[in-house]
Amino acid sequence: MKPPQIENIEVDLLLEAIFRRYGYDFRSYARASIERRIRQFLADIGGESISQIIPKVLYDRDFFMQLARRFSISVTEMFRDPFVYRAVRETVAPMLRTWPHIKIWNAGCATGEEVYSLAIVLKEEGVFDRATVYATDFNDEALARAKEGIYEIDRLREASGNYQQAGGKSSLSAYYHARYDAVAMDSTLKQRIVFSNHNLVSDHVFGEMHLIFCRNVMIYFNRELQKRVLGLFTESLARGGFLCLGTKEDLRFTDFSGRYAVVDDRAKIYKKTVADG
């Protein structure tokens, strides 16, 4: 059995090689999570060691992307944690109406279920038509699926209950077209959504936003990277803008807590109160 310290060195070398060759920086991801995903990738391809795959990662971009997709967390569903969307509907949307044009960033949108859920809430609350929603992820394959907006029909049926709990004003089926065992999200939901590649680990500020949605992404980052990403969000938010994190993520006890007021502690929604500069 390989000594743990040697495997640690191999992981370090692999992550450094990825960063220097492709610019994707996974070095600050939570170590246990990244190691688990590397081991699973090795098992799936029949690889014997991490050091064995480093040359192929360096010289074969397609092979690298196969591995990189393992680092992209795409566990998502429509109206996941419905109380969050109810809070956006009841607390955030009325404030968004006070701006003539609304800019929203769904960071780490994965395959798009979250951004379509958000779009439905905004549409029902009468603010979607003057909003631009930027849906970003570093995984181009996930982004393509999000832009396509086609999902298994069983998953959408299961999401109907969540939609109702989120204060839905219609039927979820009103927002998609079903055919055979798949559904396509209604094209009107896509009209205000811009899908774009953006890497939270290495890219810069993404405009001035009125709402940033980034849920269940930072739990996979170490403390240093969490701090960087929170700084990025804080710079990207207009004063009075809202930040919505995952239920297991928190602004408390961070360097940025003094710049926000808690809007909904359970839903992890915060309002930026202190201007930049």
Task: Say how many Å lie between the first and final Cα of the chain, rounded.
Answer: 54
SS3 182: strand
Question: What value does the CA radius of gyration of the chain take, rounded to a whole number of Å?
Answer: 20
For the chain, the domains span 4-71, 82-272
Sequence length of the chain is 277
SS3 assignment, position 114:
helix
Per-residue pLDDT of the chain (277 residues), as tens digits, is 567 788 889 999 999 998 888 767 788 777 888 888 899 999 999 888 899 999 999 999 889 888 887 876 555 789 999 999 999 999 999 999 999 999 999 999 989 999 999 999 999 999 999 999 999 998 888 899 999 999 999 888 889 999 999 999 999 999 999 988 999 999 999 999 999 998 887 777 778 999 999 998 887 777 888 888 999 999 999 999 999 999 888 888 889 999 999 999 999 999 999 877 5
CATH architecture for the domain at 82-272: 3-Layer(aba) Sandwich (3.40)
With b meaning 16 or more CB within 10 Å and e meaning fewer, what string describes 17-51?
Answer: bbeeeeebbbbbbbeeebbebbeebbeeeeeeebb
176-179 contacts: CB < 8 A, separation 24 or more?
Answer: 176/151, 178/153
What is the structure's pLDDT at 242?
98
- φ, ψ for residue 243 (rounded to 5)? -120, 125
Picking from 191, 190, 153, the residue whose alpha carbon sits closest to that of residue 172 is 153
Supply the pLDDT for residue 106: 96
Task: State the pLDDT at residue 34.
Answer: 86
